[in-house]
């Protein structure tokens, strides 16, 4: 028989006290989920997310878009294999393309399921920028920001029910809202920093790639601002901080051919 969810995490005597504290005011960085529970929750949320976008006709299948996925997978794999991920082997790490040219966004579920909107890929100028944004999203998953934010927004009890196979209505709600989940400024600073670390570890990409995206996004302004910025708030001095980190790492001068990236954009 499967043991109750919280007894896997804490001694029975303090379950109710800690659960109440976590639901009402979990502090930043405080995560009651185990890694396995991150994986289980992420798998269920990803399955529901796939279903939602497939029903809209927006989830691009791998069978029908093999070349596009080959090109995108190549970038994702380089970033993932940078040698600095904590859960590189534990999380499944897959990526899906959502066909929506009007939405310039990307997001990741707990456990490393990544979603990229075609509008974001078409907005970007080069592969370094794509790698930088992917590094940012990978950091959110690997640093477990997604689970921590979901704990704060929905509460441990509801997420626990999803892991146990309950609360299907809430699972739909989470899947539908995951792309609009707003990270804290602290998490944004950390994800920006780790994006530079990851890209440096590739020995391939210039590790200030994410800065290129934010520079372009700031120039857009007004109604043309990418949705990515609404779900990933500017922590202040974001571009400067990314560039400074890249300079400290000594990885700003790398150049990458954009032929594969331009082909990916054409295919979408």
Per-residue confidence in pLDDT tens, the chain, 268 aa: 444 433 333 332 322 223 223 333 334 455 667 888 888 888 888 888 999 999 999 999 999 999 999 999 999 999 999 999 999 999 999 999 999 999 999 999 889 999 999 999 999 999 999 999 999 999 999 999 887 877 776 666 666 666 666 655 666 566 566 656 677 888 889 999 999 999 999 999 999 999 999 888 888 765 566 767 666 767 668 899 999 999 999 988 888 999 999 999 999 9
- Identify the pLDDT of residue 9: 38
Bridge partners of 114? 95, 108
- Identify the pLDDT of residue 15: 29
* 23 assigned to some structural domain: no
* 61 assigned to some structural domain: yes
Segments in the chain forming alpha helices (H):
15-24, 35-55, 66-80, 118-123, 127-142, 145-154, 156-163, 168-177, 185-202, 209-220, 228-231, 238-249, 259-267
First-to-last C-alpha distance (Å) of the chain: 47
* 1 assigned to some structural domain: no
* 72 assigned to some structural domain: yes
Q: Do the Cβ atoms of 147 and 77 come closer than 8 Å? A: no
Q: Do the Cβ atoms of 126 and 255 come closer than 8 Å? A: no
Q: What are phi and psi of 262, to 5 degrees?
A: -65, -35
Q: Which residue, among 166, 43, 173, has the nearest Cα to 109 in the 3D structure?
A: 43
- Identify the pLDDT of residue 2: 44
* 21 assigned to some structural domain: no
Beta strands 106-108 and 94-98 are unpaired
Q: Do the Cβ atoms of 261 and 127 come closer than 8 Å? A: yes
Written as six digits, the tokens of 46 are 């990803």
* 19 assigned to some structural domain: no
Q: Do the Cβ atoms of 121 and 105 come closer than 8 Å? A: no
For residue 144, give its domain range: 35-249+256-267
- Identify the pLDDT of residue 166: 60
* 30 assigned to some structural domain: no
In the chain, the number of structural domains is: 1
Written as six digits, the tokens of 99 are 């066909």
* 25 assigned to some structural domain: no
- Identify the pLDDT of residue 226: 73
């Amino acid at each position: 028989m499967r043991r109750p969810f919280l007894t896997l995490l804490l001694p029975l005597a303090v379950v109710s006290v800690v659960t109440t504290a976590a639901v009402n005011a979990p502090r930043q960085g405080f995560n009651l989920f185990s890694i396995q529970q991150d994986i289980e929750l992420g798998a269920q949320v990803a399955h529901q997310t796939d279903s939602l976008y497939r029903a809209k006709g927006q989830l691009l299948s791998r069978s029908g878009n093999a070349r596009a996925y080959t090109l995108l997978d190549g970038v994702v794999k380089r970033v993932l294999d940078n040698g600095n991920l904590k859960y590189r082997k534990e999380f499944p790490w897959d990526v899906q393309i959502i066909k929506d040219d009007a939405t310039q966004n990307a997001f990741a579920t707990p456990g490393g399921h990544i979603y990229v909107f075609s509008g974001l890929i078409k907005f970007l100028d080069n592969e370094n920028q794509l790698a930088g944004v992917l590094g940012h999203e990978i950091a959110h998953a690997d640093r477990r920001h997604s689970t921590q934010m979901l704990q704060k927004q929905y509460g441990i009890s509801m997420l626990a029910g999803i892991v146990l196979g309950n609360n299907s209505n809430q699972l739909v709600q989470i899947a539908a809202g995951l792309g609009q989940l707003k990270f804290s400024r602290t998490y944004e600073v950390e994800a920006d920093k780790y994006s530079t670390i990851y890209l440096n570890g590739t020995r391939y990409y210039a590790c200030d790639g994410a800065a290129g995206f934010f520079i372009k996004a700031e120039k857009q302004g007004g109604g043309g601002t990418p949705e990515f910025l609404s779900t990933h708030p500017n922590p202040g001095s974001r571009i400067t901080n990314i560039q400074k980190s890249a300079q400290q790492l000594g990885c700003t001068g790398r150049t990458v051919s954009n032929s594969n990236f331009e082909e990916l954009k054409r295919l979408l």
